[in-house]
């Protein structure tokens, strides 16, 4: 399995340690941080802070993906994200990912400075997005999603669904080394389904692609802990720890500092390295 994540600005060897993607939503209605970073100044300040805290990638989204979210037009989404990407690109040194399933939004984001595409529909909602990834030679994250929860065998069906996304990407000309898989925790899955997926992350890792987990502050954590989204960072930390143990290379989180420390500690313990006394 190739574990090199190569962007236009930075190349990461994902086999060396767990990498952290920080979430930066420039939306008024995202379930956790909606409305917090809707001005360019607020977004740039948060981006700089996330880089200081150890984020390896910044994931910028202009449309909420929470359940029952209000869809926005391509024009509105582009107007939200392009000025922010342009401003952040000049303020940080880490790669920017665009969280969108729309090909034109992805194209405009890349032209503005994004170097990774993160598609919550795995190139199935708008297959042209895979052609954009191929044209600009950028990594694309293909997340598992579907319009129903009718699984015959959850993990087998999930893998089959992901392979359909992989096929779309490869046929569009995306290099295999530019494909990252995301099991889609929190999407088209019950709370129990999400726990099953978390317990079988190694099966996704075994598919031969780099894997990203995006479980931060998701509802299944709230279902277990009975806390609102803003209070789910400890629960998120638990998902990060099991993800590291099962071989996931990238975790997408809201609370960067906490998860950087947790991942670093997990990496050290799993490697069996010797820490300094004290």
Residue 252 annotated among the catalytic residues of the structure: yes
CA-wise closest residue to 169 among 142, 201, 216, 130:
130
Residue 107 has pLDDT above 80, yes or no: yes
Q: How far apart are CA 154 and CA 38, in angstroms?
A: 37
Q: Find the catalytic residue in 89, 131, 218, 246.
A: 218
pLDDT band at 273 (very low <50, low <70, confident <90, very high): low
Q: What is the pTM of this model?
A: 0.93
Residue 189 annotated among the catalytic residues of the structure: no
pLDDT at 166: 98
| 197-219: pLDDT as tens digits | 999 999 999 999 999 999 999 99
Residue 130 has pLDDT above 50, yes or no: yes
pLDDT band at 2 (very low <50, low <70, confident <90, very high): low
Q: Find the catalytic residue in 252, 257, 264, 276.
A: 252
Q: How far apart are CA 187 and CA 268, in angstroms?
A: 31
């Amino acid at each position: 399995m190739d574990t090199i994540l190569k962007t236009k600005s930075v190349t990461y060897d994902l086999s060396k340690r767990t990498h952290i993607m920080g979430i930066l939503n420039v939306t008024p209605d995202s379930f956790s941080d909606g409305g917090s970073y809707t001005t360019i100044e607020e977004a740039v300040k948060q981006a700089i802070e996330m880089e200081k805290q150890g984020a390896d990638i910044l994931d910028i989204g202009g449309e909420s993906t929470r359940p029952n979210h209000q869809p926005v037009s391509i024009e509105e989404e582009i107007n939200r994200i392009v000025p922010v990407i342009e401003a952040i690109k000049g303020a940080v040194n880490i790669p920017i990912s665009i969280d969108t399933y729309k090909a034109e939004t992805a194209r405009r984001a890349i032209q503005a400075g994004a170097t990774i595409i993160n598609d919550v529909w795995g190139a199935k909602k708008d297959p042209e997005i895979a052609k954009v990834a191929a044209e600009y030679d950028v990594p694309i994250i293909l997340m598992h999603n579907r319009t129903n929860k009718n699984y015959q065998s959850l993990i087998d069906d999930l893998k089959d669904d992901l392979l359909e996304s992989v096929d779309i990407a490869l046929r569009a000309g995306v290099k295999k080394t530019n494909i990252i898989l995301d099991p889609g925790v929190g999407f088209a899955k019950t709370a129990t389904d999400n726990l099953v997926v978390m317990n079988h992350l190694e099966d996704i890792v075994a598919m031969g692609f780099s894997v990203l987990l995006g479980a931060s502050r998701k509802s299944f954590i709230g279902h277990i802990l009975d806390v609102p989204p803003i209070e789910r960072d400890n629960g998120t930390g638990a998902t990060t720890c099991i993800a590291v143990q099962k071989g996931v290379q990238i975790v997408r989180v809201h609370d960067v500092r906490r998860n950087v420390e947790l991942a670093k500690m997990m990496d050290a313990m799993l490697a069996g390295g010797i820490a300094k006394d004290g």
